[in-house]
Amino acid sequence: MNVPLPPTWVRRPLSLLVVVGLAVAATLLPLLVLVAIGLSLVIPGRWRVLRLLAFVLVYLLLECVGLAVAFVLWVASGFGWKLRSPAFQKAHYAVLHGLLMEVLLTARVLFHLEIVDDDVSWSPLDDGVPGSTNAMVVLSRHAGPGDSLLLVRTLMDRDHLRRPRIVLKDTLQWDPLLDVYLNRLPNAFMTSGRKDMPQRVADLARDLGEEDALLIFPEGGNFTAGRRLKAIDRLRGKGMLEQASRAEQMQHLLPPRPGGVAAALEAAPHADVVFVGHTGLEHLSTAADLWDGLPMDSTVRLRWWFVPADEVPRERDAQEEWLYERWAEIDDWVASHRTA
């Protein structure tokens, strides 16, 4: 059960708890390190507790740095007056990109996390294709913690930054850094049960420019076996028997929800579409899984499918059929590349 988010005027002062947490950790650092070493000697896994402690400390430090820079930007913008101006939007994207790079670098070093792009598929690093509008709607599978941050960092990791717009769950606002930066940038936090999701997605997509990428997770949540069965039952309950049959054939993905995708493609017919498959973190779905999986020693594999705007179906039924076909293709790719 999700704890309701407090309003913004409550969340902002609460973000100071991150600073307090870092201060306490720094004060108790020698003791924390000794305890972590002792626990690592008796708990299976190569220095599991010590590595986790190091990651938490780095993450807290980056949170504090990011919040301090956000405060400076707020003051420099006239105490929020020009936060939405192009210059300050660009500054926020640049800071976010730098912080994400540091988080992923820390994960690579401490957890032996390797990220591998498919050598044969199109990649955001290719900077588009000749004749492409370069505005993009990115449709990704959702599996494991941090995949959205990984994709955002990848989309931004070019000679000139791509500006991602993300459709994501409102619970991520519990993280003070994400709460501040993503609410200052054009993103949409979605609450379960709200009926205005397609309209909000359309609003994000309508003015996509050449350097923009709208990131959507059509499954609506991380994949688990239980969620897969519930999704299939939900489709059957709605009388969508053909979709339920297609969903049964996919073993590693949840069936896609076409509403948000259709809204984005209708609002941005000029945008190319990119499908993203990835595998390597799906075994880390809960806090217990995350603990059991440390140190990860994992390889995250990414595959990108590029579809030019003029090849995207526009009629709703054809679009849903196309979406399910692509999702089945990603499922086959995951099945052949996932790590046992």
225-277: per-residue pLDDT in tens?
899 999 999 999 999 999 999 999 999 999 999 999 999 999 999 999 999 98
With CA atoms as reference, report the closest residue to 176 among 313, 21, 329, 323: 21
Exposure string for 288-314, b = 16+ CB within 10 A, e = fewer: ebbeebbbbebebbbbbbbbebeebee
Query: Residue 146: which of 108, 197, 117, 180 has the closest Cα?
Result: 108
pLDDT at 202: 96
pLDDT at 241: 94
Regions of the chain where pLDDT drops below 50: 130-131, 159, 340
Q: Are residues 115 and 108 in contact, defined by beta-carbon separation less than 8 angstroms?
A: yes
**Taking a C-beta distance cutoff of 8 angstroms, is the pair 64, 18 a contact?**
yes
Determine the pLDDT at residue 283.
61
Q: What is the pLDDT of residue 225?
A: 86
Q: Report the DSSP pairing between strands 272-279 and 299-307.
A: antiparallel
Between CA 292 and CA 14 the distance in angstroms is 30
Distance from C-alpha of 64 to C-alpha of 16, rounded to nearest angstrom? 9
Residues 6 or more apart whose Cβ sits within 8 Å of residue 30: none
Give the model's pLDDT for residue 217.
93
Q: Which pTM was predicted?
A: 0.90
Q: How far is CA 268 from the centre of its chain?
A: 21
pLDDT at 128: 52
R_g over Cα of the chain: 21
